[in-house]
Amino acid sequence: MTRDLTHFVGGKHVDGTSGRFGDVFDPSSGTVQARVPLASTAEVQAAIGVAADAQLEWAAQNAQRRSRVLLRFLDLIGKDMDSLARLLSSEHGKTIDDAKGDIQRGVEVIEFAAGAPHLLKGEYSSGAGGGIDVYSMRQPLGVVAGITPFNFPAMIPLWKAGPALAAGNAFLLKPSERDPSVPLRIAELFLEAGLPAGVFNVVNGDKEAVDAILHDDRVKAVGFVGSTPIAQYIYATAAANGKRAQCFGGAKNHMIVMPDADLDQVADALVGAGYGSAGERCMAISVAVPVGKETGDALAAKLTERVKHLKVGPALEDGNDYGPLVTADAKKRVEHYIQLGVDEGGTLLADGRGYSVDGYENGFYLGPTLFDDVTADMAIYREEIFGPVLIIARAEDYEQALAMATDHQYGNGVSIFTRDGDAARDFAARVEVGMVGVNVPIPVPIAYHTFGGWKKSGFGDLNQHGPDAFRFYTKTKTVTSRWPSTTLRSAQQTKEGASFVIPTMH
Ligand code: NAD
């Protein structure tokens, strides 16, 4: 018998009433382990009402008190790390160590968000004009929503919720329907940490739930992470409905390998960044761009050798480099791309299709796949595959490599491996990509810098975490005040009658 999961609204688990459910798989065995309720519009609207009611009191607490709740949450999630990581792995399919990294990355943004009293300090200009002081303050938006992807079920909800809650908003999370249990557990931990009931809510669902969020006037901002077509849809719909939106989409991250790079270091970095989490990371490196024939040949040989030794197996079993893909559909989609790559004329150096794990024959596994001789006109170069497929697309020189990363439709992350400081500096300055690594394969910024891609990888003008998060989740109010003083009376102050001229600081 499969379990039925719930929503989490108003501080408690709430059964779904729509009658619609989605399957939650154990990707390691390929079996259905639970059903997730898919919320109706009415259920989402009710949850938004609960959040709106809870928000005013939460916003009225001072920022330091709100931060203390986050600090207690940090303590609780730290104690829960092992069981939370197992829960995450069992639904997502990533290894336990990788699941811990997923949670830890989220924790780091909560640590950052706990600095809210400092981050929410406004600006003040004393004596901006005669007897005039100007100050600005940051106020919460009200109810805000997060719509998140399957591939980081702890990290991304925490990236969104931490700063939003610290700033005094109530939060409605619509997590991925493929791995909803970690978000539900996070809701329990927030409550246990002292977050008032109704301030953090989880509504499970699909397009119907998302549309209910997008069309409800009480929701003031939407933070989305997922694939590019959905990011574009959510950005356009949220904006048309007068909401603030930041929507992060897909990726095709290149690693430029210069002829002077240490190729063993590069090959290790590429294997980890390309195949870790079965390539289901928006910051995975999916394109290696060796510069020059000699670099390309040597790199292809080193990668081919390393790929043979990768260990793929069940998420909860120790010693695997990566686990299964999240669903059978995801696996089928990647297999389709592998065939497409062959048909398009790529050289298949390693074929991960048909990979089977003893005792787990129905799991959603794919072995590591490696293509060489991929060119910019091929679909496997242009499109996001989101699986354990690494492609080598060779460049003749540095300028061509730079142009490849710059001209690509996606601009999430990019990396250059070189010993040449000039090349690295030039690359970082000129490449049209949001996050750049120099001899770092996965350039995910630390919590107090911002995270966000360019071009078709991001829509909206403020990034995730770092100071941008507090700008996104607050609105600025600016107060211009004058207190007439008998000792400091300016000409403007003493002038009698109405003025019909725009005020200036002349
Ligand atoms: P997805 O777009 O399928 O789903 C993301 C969210 O949107 C889920 O909550 C889902 O329920 C909802 N959704 C799906 N279809 C919808 C529709 N038609 N209308 C409204 N809502 C809909 O993405 P995914 O498969 O869960 O995640 C993988 C994608 O996320 C990849 O493209 C990856 O690159 C991207 N991603 C990007 C970043 C980033 O920061 N740029 C980070 C992680 C993942």
Q: What is the pLDDT of residue 258?
A: 98
Using pLDDT thresholds of 50, 70 and 90, give the confidence band for residue 492: low
Distance between CA atoms of 257 and 290, rounded to whole angstroms? 5
Cβ pair 403, 378 in contact under 8 A: no
For the CA atoms of 323, 326, 327, 329, what is the dihedral angle to 10 degrees? Answer: -100
Q: Is 102 in the pocket of ligand 1 (CB under 6 A)?
A: no
Using pLDDT thresholds of 50, 70 and 90, give the confidence band for residue 487: low
Q: What is the pLDDT of residue 455?
A: 98
CATH code at position 423? 3.40.309.10
Q: Is 210 in the pocket of ligand 1 (CB under 6 A)?
A: yes
Q: What is the pLDDT of residues 42-82, one digit of tens each?
A: 999 999 999 999 999 999 999 999 999 999 999 999 999 99
Q: What is the pLDDT of residues 8-24, one digit of tens each?
A: 999 999 999 999 999 99
Report how far apart, in Å, the C-alpha atoms of 234 and of each of 123, 230, 307 are.
Answer: 33, 6, 38
Distance between CA atoms of 416 and 431, rounded to whole angstroms? 11
| Structure tokens that stand for 492 in this block | 């403007």
Q: Determine, yes or no, domain membership for 500.
A: no
Using pLDDT thresholds of 50, 70 and 90, give the confidence band for residue 503: confident
Q: Which domain holds residue 299?
A: 253-452
Spatial CB neighbours of 44, under 8 Å, sequence gap ≥ 6:
172, 203, 205, 209, 212, 213, 216
Share of the chain above pLDDT 70, in %: 97
Q: Determine, yes or no, domain membership for 287.
A: yes
Looking at the structure, do residues 338 and 392 belong to the same domain, yes or no? yes
Distance of CA 198 to the CA centre of its chain: 24
Look at the chain and report how many structural domains it folds into. Answer: 2
Tell me, in angstroms, the distance from the centre of ligand 1 to residue 300's CA.
Answer: 32
Using pLDDT thresholds of 50, 70 and 90, give the confidence band for residue 504: confident
Q: Which of 145, 161, 282, 366 is catalytic?
A: 282
Q: Is the pLDDT of residue 316 over 90?
A: yes
Q: What is the pLDDT of residue 495?
A: 58
Distance between CA atoms of 197 and 221, rounded to whole angstroms? 20
Phi, psi for residue 195 in degrees, rounded to 5: -70, 125
Looking at the structure, do residues 76 and 139 belong to the same domain, yes or no? yes
Q: What is the pLDDT of residues 422-467, one digit of tens each?
A: 999 999 999 999 999 999 999 999 999 999 999 999 999 999 999 9
Report how far apart, in Å, the C-alpha atoms of 201 and of each of 5, 62, 155, 188 are.
Answer: 14, 21, 16, 10
Q: Determine, yes or no, domain membership for 11.
A: yes
Distance spanning both ends of the chain, measured CA to CA: 76
Using pLDDT thresholds of 50, 70 and 90, give the confidence band for residue 121: very high
Tell me, in angstroms, the distance from the centre of ligand 1 to residue 457's CA.
Answer: 12
Q: Is the pLDDT of residue 490 over 80?
A: no
Looking at the structure, do residues 88 and 196 belong to the same domain, yes or no? yes
Tell the burial category of 476 from Cβ atoms under 10 Å away from its Cβ (0-12, 13-18, 19+).
Answer: exposed
Taking each helix axis as running N to C, give the angle between helix 63-79 and helix 155-166, from 0 to 180 degrees, rounded to the nearest 10. Answer: 160
Report how far apart, in Å, the C-alpha atoms of 184 and of each of 100, 158, 189 are.
Answer: 17, 12, 9
Distance between CA atoms of 88 and 104, rounded to whole angstroms? 13
Looking at the structure, do residues 308 and 438 belong to the same domain, yes or no? yes
Using pLDDT thresholds of 50, 70 and 90, give the confidence band for residue 403: very high
Looking at the structure, do residues 258 and 244 belong to the same domain, yes or no? no
Q: What is the pLDDT of residue 216?
A: 98
Cβ pair 313, 321 in contact under 8 A: no
Looking at the structure, do residues 315 and 436 belong to the same domain, yes or no? yes
Q: Is 140 in the pocket of ligand 1 (CB under 6 A)?
A: no
Phi, psi for residue 502 in degrees, rounded to 5: -55, 135
Q: Is 150 in the pocket of ligand 1 (CB under 6 A)?
A: yes
Q: Determine, yes or no, domain membership for 502.
A: no
Q: Is the pLDDT of residue 488 over 80?
A: no
Cβ pair 252, 408 in contact under 8 A: yes
Looking at the structure, do residues 51 and 112 belong to the same domain, yes or no? yes
Tell me, in angstroms, the distance from the centre of ligand 1 to residue 282's CA.
Answer: 10
* Interval 359-382 mean pLDDT: 98
Cβ pair 415, 440 in contact under 8 A: yes
Looking at the structure, do residues 285 and 298 belong to the same domain, yes or no? yes
pTM: predicted TM-score of the whole model, two decimal places: 0.96
Q: What is the pLDDT of residues 191-236, one digit of tens each?
A: 999 999 999 999 999 999 999 999 999 999 999 999 999 999 999 9
Q: Is the pLDDT of residue 491 over 90?
A: no
Distance between CA atoms of 74 and 53, rounded to whole angstroms? 26
Q: Determine, yes or no, domain membership for 499.
A: no
Looking at the structure, do residues 209 and 232 belong to the same domain, yes or no? yes
Spatial CB neighbours of 17, under 8 Å, sequence gap ≥ 6:
37, 40, 43
* Interval 242-252 mean pLDDT: 98
Q: What is the pLDDT of residue 15?
A: 98
Q: What is the pLDDT of residue 499?
A: 84
* Interval 346-364 mean pLDDT: 97
* Side chain identity, residue 45: Q
Q: Is 283 in the pocket of ligand 1 (CB under 6 A)?
A: no
Cβ pair 148, 156 in contact under 8 A: yes
Q: What is the chain's mean pLDDT, rounded?
A: 96
Looking at the structure, do residues 80 and 166 belong to the same domain, yes or no? yes
> In a 3-state reduction of DSSP, which class is residue 445?
coil
* Interval 279-296 mean pLDDT: 98
In 3D space, the residue among 161, 167, 162 whose CA is nearest the CA of residue 146 turns out to be 161
Distance between CA atoms of 506 and 504, rounded to whole angstroms? 5
Spatial CB neighbours of 57, under 8 Å, sequence gap ≥ 6:
196
Spatial CB neighbours of 317, under 8 Å, sequence gap ≥ 6:
none
Q: Is 247 among the residues known to form the active site?
A: no
Using pLDDT thresholds of 50, 70 and 90, give the confidence band for residue 130: confident
Nearest ligand 1 atom to alpha carbon 250: 34
CB atoms within 10 A of CB 134: 16
Phi, psi for residue 34 in degrees, rounded to 5: -160, 170
Q: Is 116 in the pocket of ligand 1 (CB under 6 A)?
A: no
Looking at the structure, do residues 282 and 198 belong to the same domain, yes or no? no
Cβ pair 436, 445 in contact under 8 A: no
Distance between CA atoms of 106 and 178, rounded to whole angstroms? 19
In 3D space, the residue among 196, 198, 249, 200 whose CA is nearest the CA of residue 224 turns out to be 249
Q: Determine, yes or no, domain membership for 124.
A: yes
Tell me, in angstroms, the distance from the centre of ligand 1 to residue 476's CA.
Answer: 30
Q: Determine, yes or no, domain membership for 162.
A: yes
Looking at the structure, do residues 259 and 239 belong to the same domain, yes or no? no
CATH code at position 100? 3.40.605.10
Distance between CA atoms of 231 and 268, rounded to whole angstroms? 32
Q: Determine, yes or no, domain membership for 382.
A: yes
Q: What is the pLDDT of residue 473?
A: 98
